[in-house]
């Protein structure tokens, strides 16, 4: 403990206060006649008490401060994380597996709790704190666990991370890459069976989400066969109760992978659900991965896309080549005038750098604005920005310099108009930059940002690509040129254009699919996974085609068994939104209604909820992943019956030790209540003795 004085030249002040205390005490006692009758020891005692009381009071004028240092011991933190996904229970005795994990976690908590702070996590679809595992998660994301631990405990004394799982991950990045950011060891306890057993699995199905009635559409089915050499398997594809495809497959080895490519005919418009099944000789330990399904939305007509531009541009080639590879698009490209006069037959018009500085396409643009044909603008160096701002789209580009700047895409995680798969989302932020106008961009609330701009490694909220439905017309804007580089980079990185094609197709598909042009619109996805909530959006317009949210929107969902569920939409800004939560697997139809004034409007549609079965597809434990995680961080891999060895390993690790630090505490003496009582007691005793000894 250390006493500090908060006044400069405190030593001189202290001498003055000592002098004042002595003078006042002398004046009180040595000029008093009654004091001479007391013995010397009583006089000295009274003198001392008065001096102490006065000195303490004057001493407080120096604002004395007490500084104390406390030694704190911070025990190392041990984090345990249990894989809560369904792959843990996919095969074998689930009761035995759960008891095994319970034994391991109990041992770790009981043995390490004495000298370490234990924090428990569960991970699967998401990483959450706690230890009440149920193994119901249908995804395994090891990278999310690593990121959660890194973000939540970056400034703590982490001794080790103990991961208890089977090493199977099916979403997120490779944990062997993510784990390298950790500066503490990762110890892994392998749970599950790594032995290769007899198994036939449908590992992946690739099919177009949409097809057109009367057309043929391709389906690609990937299958893996383990220990089934020369055992015939029958692949069947059915819809409803009708078998539409059957093929005999003969695995040639005990580790056999094959792909079946088939072509199916699109039937009547609507959602069509297809079931894939492998008929095997039996004796498989896991039969859940023998089945899978997919859903295709059959549309009535091909989508006609018109691309208009003042001169050729590589961006147009990238878009055109992507769309022409799909049978459901018919693309027309015009790079100079005269442009086509009849626009009504097209589902989408793409305007590349129009209106231009040379005023090309000015009349055509105003003609398109008179209709409700969806538009996709591509902004570039030839775009005449002042005229673009006057198109009454609610979009304003405030140019601050003539030069352009480079902007890389940053995904908006709250974008909901359509979904992108994990590979595309991971690829997006690696794409090369686009050349964008140097300035600010203002968007109406009806346009939703798909990508933001990353400028010089600074993530901004300026839109790079935005889509929406302003004034009842589907509209998209790409605020930059150079997306052809994205296509090249995609091929350079993955040796395919798959991610770029998915991005362009999703944008074009959203814009080109015509919706009812009346006052009431309901938007839904054709397919939802049973792990995700079913979310529908609604729009209501008055006679002036202005968005309104006053009337109540009701909807009734009907499942394939005829059971009805009624809901009311919630308001969300200028729109309506319904989150129906997670629904059981099956086909659903809906009928929504709203009353605008005295007129009633209805909308109907359908969607399908399909199971997410990736946890059942791969059930053999992958301890190699766990070994890599441990090896890259200085940890070690243990089996489930070696938990005691892990405890000893942690105890003997000299790097896992408590940290000591001193914490300074500063308190003013004026804030100490006990000092007030000391002064009060000293002066009170002096007063009492004076009265008791007859001095008044």
Structure tokens at 561: 């068994």
**CA dist 49 → 16, 33, 53, 686, 689 (Å):** 19, 19, 6, 6, 10
Across the range 627-636, mean pLDDT stands at 92
Mean model confidence pLDDT for the chain: 83
Please tell me which residue, 140 or 545, carries the higher pLDDT value. 140
For residue 599, what pLDDT is reported?
Answer: 83
Bridge partners, 333 (sequence order): 307
Q: Is the dihedral of CA 236, 237, 241, 244 positive or negative?
A: negative
Please tell me which residue, 33 or 166, carries the higher pLDDT value. 166
Structure tokens at 454: 């990353």
Q: CA–CA separation, 378 vs 606, rounded Å?
A: 33
Query: Which residues, in sequence order, are CB contacts of 275 under 8 Å at separation 6+?
Result: 237, 238, 239, 291, 292, 293
**Of 475, 607, 487, nearest in space to 536 by CA:** 607
Q: CA–CA separation, 91 vs 104, rounded Å?
A: 20
Burial of 331 (0-12, 13-18, 19+ CB in 10 A): buried
For residue 277, what pLDDT is reported?
Answer: 92
For residue 36, what pLDDT is reported?
Answer: 67
Q: CA–CA separation, 193 vs 300, rounded Å?
A: 49
Distance from chain centroid for Cα 49? 70
**CA dist 585 → 38, 109, 582 (Å):** 103, 39, 9
Is the distance from CB of 352 to CB of 309 less than 8 angstroms?
Answer: yes
Across the range 470-496, mean pLDDT stands at 89
Instruction: Express each pLDDT in 646-686 by its tens digit.
Output: 998 888 888 888 776 666 677 676 677 777 788 788 878 87
Structure tokens at 678: 């000391």
Neighbours of 627 (CB within 10 A): 17
For residue 515, what pLDDT is reported?
Answer: 56
For residue 539, what pLDDT is reported?
Answer: 86
For residue 663, what pLDDT is reported?
Answer: 66
Please tell me which residue, 605 or 364, carries the higher pLDDT value. 605
Instruction: Express each pLDDT in 108-136 by its tens digit.
Output: 888 888 888 899 999 988 888 888 877 77
Structure tokens at 230: 């020369």
Is the distance from CB of 329 to CB of 241 less than 8 angstroms?
Answer: no
| pLDDT of 360 strictly over 70 | no
For residue 350, what pLDDT is reported?
Answer: 93
Structure tokens at 268: 């009547």
The pLDDT-based confidence of 597 (bands split at 50, 70, 90) is confident
Looking only at the bridges linking them, the beta strands covering 434-442 and 186-190 are: unpaired
Query: Which residues, in sequence order, are CB contacts of 592 under 8 Å at separation 6+?
Result: 520, 522, 538, 553, 554, 555, 556, 569, 602, 603, 604
Helices (H) and strands (E) in the chain, counts: 15, 35
Structure tokens at 227: 């220990």
| pLDDT of 392 strictly over 80 | no
Instruction: Express each pLDDT in 393-444 by its tens digit.
Output: 788 898 887 788 999 999 998 887 877 877 888 888 889 999 999 989 999 8
**CA dist 136 → 346, 577, 688 (Å):** 47, 28, 78
For residue 256, what pLDDT is reported?
Answer: 92
């Amino acid at each position: 403990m250390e006493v500090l004085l908060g006044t400069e030249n405190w030593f001189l002040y202290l001498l003055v206060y000592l002098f004042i205390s002595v003078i006042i005490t002398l004046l009180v006692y040595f000029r008093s006649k009654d004091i001479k009758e007391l013995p010397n020891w009583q006089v000295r005692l009274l003198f001392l008490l008065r001096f102490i009381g006065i000195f303490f009071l004057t001493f407080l004028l120096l604002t004395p401060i007490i500084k104390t240092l406390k030694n704190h011991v911070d025990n190392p933190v041990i984090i345990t994380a249990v894989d809560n996904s369904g792959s843990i229970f996919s095969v074998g005795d689930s009761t035995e597996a759960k008891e095994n994990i319970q034994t391991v976690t109990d041992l770790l908590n009981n043995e390490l709790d004495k000298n370490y702070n234990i924090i428990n996590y569960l991970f699967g679809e998401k990483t959450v704190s706690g230890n009440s595992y149920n193994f119901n998660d249908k995804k395994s994301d090891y990278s999310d666990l690593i990121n959660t631990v890194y973000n939540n405990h970056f400034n703590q004394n982490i001794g080790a991370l103990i991961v208890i799982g089977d090493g199977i991950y099916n979403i997120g990045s490779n944990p062997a890459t993510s784990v390298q950011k950790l500066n503490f060891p990762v110890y892994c306890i392998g749970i599950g069976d790594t032995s290769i057993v007899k198994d036939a699995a449908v590992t992946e199905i690739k099919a177009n989400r949409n097809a057109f009635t009367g057309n043929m559409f391709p389906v690609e089915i990937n299958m893996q066969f383990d220990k089934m050499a020369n055992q015939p398997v029958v692949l069947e594809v059915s819809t409803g109760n009708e078998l539409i495809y059957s093929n005999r497959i003969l695995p040639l080895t005990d580790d056999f992978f094959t792909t079946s490519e088939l072509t199916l005919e699109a039937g009547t418009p609507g959602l069509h659900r297809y079931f894939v099944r492998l008929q095997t000789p039996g004796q498989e330990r896991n039969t859940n991965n023998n089945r899978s399904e997919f859903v295709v939305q059959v549309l009535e007509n091909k989508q006609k896309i018109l691309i208009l531009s003042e001169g050729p541009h590589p961006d147009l080639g990238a878009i055109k080549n992507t769309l022409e590879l799909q049978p459901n698009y018919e693309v027309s490209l015009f790079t100079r005038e005269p442009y086509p006069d009849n626009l009504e037959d097209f589902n989408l018009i793409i305007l590349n750098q129009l209106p231009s500085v040379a005023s090309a396409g000015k009349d055509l643009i105003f003609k398109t604005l008179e209709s409700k044909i969806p538009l996709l603008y591509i902004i570039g160096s030839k775009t005449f920005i002042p005229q673009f701002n006057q198109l009454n789209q609610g979009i304003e580009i405030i140019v601050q310099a003539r030069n352009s700047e480079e902007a890389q895409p940053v995904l908006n995680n709250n974008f909901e108009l359509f979904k992108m798969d994990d590979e595309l989302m991971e690829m997006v932020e690696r794409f090369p930059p686009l050349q964008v106008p140097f300035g600010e961009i203002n968007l109406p609330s009806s346009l939703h940002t798909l990508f933001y701009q990353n400028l010089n490694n600074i993530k901004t909220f300026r839109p790079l690509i935005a889509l929406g439905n302003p004034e009842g017309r589907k509209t998209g804007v790409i605020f930059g040129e150079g997306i052809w580089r994205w296509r090249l980079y995609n091929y350079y990185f993955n040796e395919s254009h798959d991610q770029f094609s998915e991005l362009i197709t999703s944008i074009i598909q959203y814009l080109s699919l015509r919706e009812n042009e009346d006052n009431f619109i309901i938007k839904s996805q054709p397919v939802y996974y049973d792990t995700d909530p079913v979310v529908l959006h609604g729009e209501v317009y008055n006679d002036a085609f202005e968005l309104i949210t006053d009337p109540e929107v009701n909807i009734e969902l009907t499942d394939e068994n005829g059971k009805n569920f009624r809901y009311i939409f919630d308001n969300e800004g200028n729109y309506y939104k319904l989150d129906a939560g997670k629904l059981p697997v099956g086909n659903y139809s809906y009928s929504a209604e709203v009353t605008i004034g005295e007129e009633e409007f209805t909308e109907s549609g359908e969607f399908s909820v399909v199971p997410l079965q990736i946890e059942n597809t791969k059930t053999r434990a992958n301890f190699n992943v766990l070994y890599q995680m441990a090896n890259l961080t200085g940890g070690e891999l243990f089996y489930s019956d070696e938990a005691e060895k892990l405890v000893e390993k942690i105890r003997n690790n000299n790097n896992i030790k408590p940290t000591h630090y001193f914490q300074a505490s500063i308190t003013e003496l004026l804030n100490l209540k006990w000092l007030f009582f000391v002064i009060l007691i000293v002066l009170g005793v002096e007063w009492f003795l004076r009265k008791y000894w007859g001095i008044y």
